[in-house]
Amino acid sequence: MTAVEETARPVALLRRRPSPRPPRGSRSATSYGFVALYAALTVAFGILPSLYAVYLAFTTGEGSFAGFANFTKVIGDFRFLPAVGHVAFYLVIWLVSLVVLVTLLAVIVHAIRVRWLSSTLRLVFYLPGALAGASSVLLWLFVLDPTASPVGGLLRALGLSSFVQVIVPAHLPPIFAIIAFWAGAGGWIVIMYGALNNISPDVIEAARIDGAGTLQIAWRIQLPLLRKWISYMGIMSLAAGTQLFVEPQLLSQASNAVVPNDYSLNQLAYQYAFQQNDFNGAAAISLLLLVIALALSAFFVLRGGLFETD
């Protein structure tokens, strides 16, 4: 037995020996390589275009300094304030529904203990994200037409018997919010589900031992620990929402201008650039959008504690 033990000991030690790690220098080189690629793309497609937009916004078409003339021109445009109102109304509806419903659905799916059912629901929620952008809007053109929609009976019951009646400008903010939620909520539900998986089971078990129910655990433990992820979702969704363009543009073309082609700020910038040949005014609108988005993102960062360390 002693001989067997002596023979088995080196084998056991060999099995316990940790796998060799790559040299520290090679890992650092790989990390720097990924960061360098990201930095190069950010400079090429983010920073340099932004600097060029700043240059255009403060100059005239001949290249001379214009001060704030381009900003006062676009703000004084009769189309500007209605476009701001359209985008703001849409953002309020979308962000509130996104934060509330995505968080609620993620907590519900995470609470389901049947693994196949939970996986199926995540897949079902995620699938609409495959139809993003223009393809999603084209699909919704049929959904919004009472004569061809699978929910045409519901639309007619609401007194909407034609496509034009459905897409009148007063109805567009909630319609765009529904389209955006349908296309983007599934991905955020999956992300929130992953964040919920990172919560220590010991914390949840301790709360149950103390008598906490499912609702108390969700309200007092899961939601506070999801605060950073909710803040991140708000920032990314805000950045996407301020760029509203594809949905109103396609609806404008499909409705023969029942939806105006200057409905959103991005559409108005497009009109300045490619209809009026005024790239300086378009750059001024883009900078105003950037400032507003950065200010609102800063609010989400500060209130959500995005960069706080636990």
**What predicted TM-score, i.e. pTM, was given to this entire model?**
0.81
Find the mean pLDDT for residues 135-147: 84
Tens of pLDDT along 159-210?
Answer: 888 888 898 888 899 999 988 888 888 889 888 998 998 888 888 888 888 8
- Do you know the residue count of the chain? 310
Higher pLDDT, 167 or 128: 167
Share of the chain above pLDDT 90, in %: 29
What pLDDT shows up at residue 131? 65
What pLDDT shows up at residue 118? 83
Domains by residue range for the chain, with CATH? 53-304 (1.10.3720.10)
Predicted confidence band of residue 240 (pLDDT cuts 50, 70, 90)? confident
Hey, what long-range contacts does 244-251 have (CB within 8 A, 24 or more apart)? Answer: 244/86, 244/87, 244/90, 244/176, 245/270, 246/133, 246/134, 246/137, 247/137, 247/176, 247/179, 247/180, 248/172, 248/176, 250/134, 250/137, 250/138, 250/141, 251/137, 251/141, 251/167, 251/172
Predicted confidence band of residue 128 (pLDDT cuts 50, 70, 90)? confident
Tens of pLDDT along 4-51?
Answer: 444 444 444 444 455 555 555 556 778 888 889 999 999 999 899 989
What pLDDT shows up at residue 215? 86
What pLDDT shows up at residue 30? 83
Tens of pLDDT along 59-110?
Answer: 998 889 999 999 999 999 999 999 999 999 999 999 999 989 999 999 998 8
Q: Cα 199 to chain center, whole Å?
A: 23
Higher pLDDT, 21 or 282: 282
Q: How far apart are CA 63 and CA 44, in angstroms?
A: 23
What pLDDT shows up at residue 158? 86
Structure tokens given for 195: 């964040």
Q: Dihedrals φ, ψ of 245, to 5°?
A: -150, -55
User: Amino acid letter at 198?
Assistant: N
Higher pLDDT, 305 or 43: 43
| Contact by Cβ (8 Å): 241, 87 | yes
What pLDDT shows up at residue 24? 55
